[in-house]
Structure 1
Amino acid sequence: MNLTVARLTVRGLLGRRRGILLLVVPALLLVISVIGRSSGSDKHDLAVTILGELSLGTLVPILGLIVGTGVIATEIDDGSIVYLLAKPLPRWKIITTKLAIAVVTTWAFAAVPTLLAGLILYGTQDGLAVGFALGTVVAGAAYSAVFLLLGVVTRHAVVAGLGYALVWESLVGNYVQGAKTLSVQQWGLSVAKAVAADGAIPAHVSLAAAVPLLVVVTVAATAFASVKLAGLTLASDE
């Protein structure tokens, strides 16, 4: 990790407008959890629905999109990335530093609120809160890598990311049986299921498939982003 790149990335990522956006979504999750706790609904089913669909299915990809694209797409769009690329830094180090910032930020604004929401809704029973929190940790890392890659390869990263999150993850990945194997959300649910008590969390992908897929997608997206950033350097030099 390069500390200078990390400092500049944090400063740009947590600016006033984006910082407010990062706070609104987890705050909404916590408010809904408090309201849900006081309702007469079955607490287990309510917790699984809110943590699985609202948090892991909506909160994590949205925050991953905001953060993953935010660490680099803005710099590419306004041309300020040229100053960073002019420094004698390996491109992979720039990408991995920005990814580290994106992952930690996603964990802070998604995994921690998910844990708190789980404790509010269902306490420590069945390991539900911890399971979903760990599910958001692994899914958050994968989303961050994928959306960072989008930030490098296209100027329409936010639009493309929203399409992916809303169409593939929320619709296709949830309701089309064969597509569930290729859903980051389902991989996160698989990890959550492995941590929680038996039968507490439903998942459609086995842990043996989910973990390698999470690793492959995260590493491949990071590597491809490094290659594309190197290509951007060559294009600028020409």
Structure 2
Amino acid sequence: MNPTVARLTLRGLLGRRRGLLLLVVPALLLLVSALAAGTGGDKHDLVVNVLGRLGLGTLLPILGLVVGTGAIATEIDDGSIVYLLAKPLPRWKIITTKLAVATGITWAFSAVPMLLSGLLLYGTKEGLALAYTVAALVAGTVYSALFLLLGVVTRHAVVIGLGYALVWEALMGNFVEGARKLSVQQWGLSVAESVAAEGSITSVVSLGAAVPLLLVAAAGATALASVRLAGLTLTSDE
């Protein structure tokens, strides 16, 4: 990890406007959880819907989009990335440093609220709060890598990523049987299923398939982003 790149990335992601935007996701999840905690009905189903479908399936990919693309897309768009590319620094180190910062921020703004929401809704019963927190950690890592890659390969990363987050993950990942097997959300749910009490969480993807898919997606996106950045040529006039 390069300290200079890490510091610049952290400052860019936690700037006033973007920092406030990042707070929307955990605030919304905690607000919904607080309101839901006071309602009747099956609390287990409530946790599955709030933490699984809303938190893991919708809010987490949107958070990953904001953080992942923000870690590099803005620098490419305004041309300031040229100052990093001009330094004798391996491109893979730039990418891995930015990914580490993006992942850490995604964890902080997703896993912590997920745990608090789970405890608020269901306490420690069946290990659901912990299970969804672990799912947020693994899925958040993959989302950060995928959206960082998107930020490198296209200037329309936010629009494309938003379509992916809302259509593929939030819609297809929850309701379309075939597509669910290629959803990061379902891969994360598979990990959560292995952590929670038996039968309390279900995923359409087995753990034996989910773990390799998570690893391949994260490593593959990181490698492709490094290769793409290595071939990127910018001038200070861009």
Normalised TM-score (structure 2): 0.97
Paired residue secondary structure (1:182): coil
Cα distance in 2 between the residues matched to 1:198 and 1:173: 22
2:24 maps to which residue? 24
User: 1:179, CA displacement in angstroms?
Assistant: 1.4
Cα distance in 1 between the residues matched to 2:129 and 2:169: 22
Q: Would the aligned equivalents of 2:91 and 2:230 in 1 still touch at CA under 8 Å? A: yes
1:222 maps to which residue? 222
Two-structure CA RMSD over aligned residues (Å): 1.1
Q: Would the aligned equivalents of 2:53 and 2:174 in 1 still touch at CA under 8 Å? A: no
Cα distance in 2 between the residues matched to 1:116 and 1:173: 24
1:14 maps to which residue? 14
Paired residue secondary structure (1:130): helix
Cα distance in 2 between the residues matched to 1:87 and 1:96: 16
Structure 1, residues 79-115: CA drift from partner, whole Å, max 9, x if none?
A: 0000011110000000000000000000000011000
Amino acid in structure 2 at the alignment position of 1:78: D
Equivalence map 1:205-216=2 (5 Å) = 205-216=205-216
2:183 maps to which residue? 183
1:142 maps to which residue? 142
Cα distance in 2 between the residues matched to 1:100 and 1:177: 33
* Percent of aligned pairs with the same amino acid: 72
Q: Would the aligned equivalents of 2:57 and 2:174 in 1 still touch at CA under 8 Å? A: no
Equivalence map 1:125-204=2 (5 Å) = 125-204=125-204
Normalised TM-score (structure 1): 0.97
* Worse-superposed segment, 167-176 or 70-79: 167-176
Amino acid in structure 2 at the alignment position of 1:216: V
2:52 maps to which residue? 52
State yes or no: 1:110 paired with 2:137: no
Aligned length: 236
Cα distance in 2 between the residues matched to 1:51 and 1:175: 16
User: 1:202, CA displacement in angstroms?
Assistant: 1.7
* Worse-superposed segment, 18-27 or 163-172: 163-172
Cα distance in 1 between the residues matched to 2:33 and 2:216: 33
User: 1:155, CA displacement in angstroms?
Assistant: 0.2
Structure 1 segments of 4+ aligned residues over 6 angstroms from their partners: none
Amino acid in structure 2 at the alignment position of 1:225: A
User: 1:143, CA displacement in angstroms?
Assistant: 0.3
Cα distance in 2 between the residues matched to 1:94 and 1:36: 42
Cα distance in 2 between the residues matched to 1:15 and 1:71: 12
Amino acid in structure 1 at the alignment position of 2:176: V
